Amino acid sequence: MKTYITDAEWHISLVEDFMHLLTGNSFNITDLQNSRWIRAIINNNKDNEYAKRILMRNMPEIYISGLFNVVIRETNHVR
């Protein structure tokens, strides 16, 4: 259980940092699933403190897009 909580905190922290880079930018919800778009946003903000924290991680765009894929899939899931 402790491993899952640590993983969740790590993912949430990563996405929170990324969301700070989106201030003032317009985007479609599908953009959040696109790892190339996410990488471009990060690279365009390399001097930003949040981008620096994100770039300390290995392939952050994969984790960010993956998390949004799950959230969007579950949100659209008909129960």
Query: Distance (Å, rounded) from C-alpha 1 to C-alpha 39?
Result: 31
pLDDT at 1: 44
Answer whether 48's CB lies under 8 Å from 30's CB.
Answer: no
Give residue 12's identity as a one-letter amino acid code. I
pLDDT at 33: 94
User: pTM for this one?
Assistant: 0.82
What pLDDT, in 10s, does the model give residues 37-62? 999 999 999 999 999 999 999 999 99
Apex CA 67: angle with CA 9 and CA 55, to 5°?
A: 70
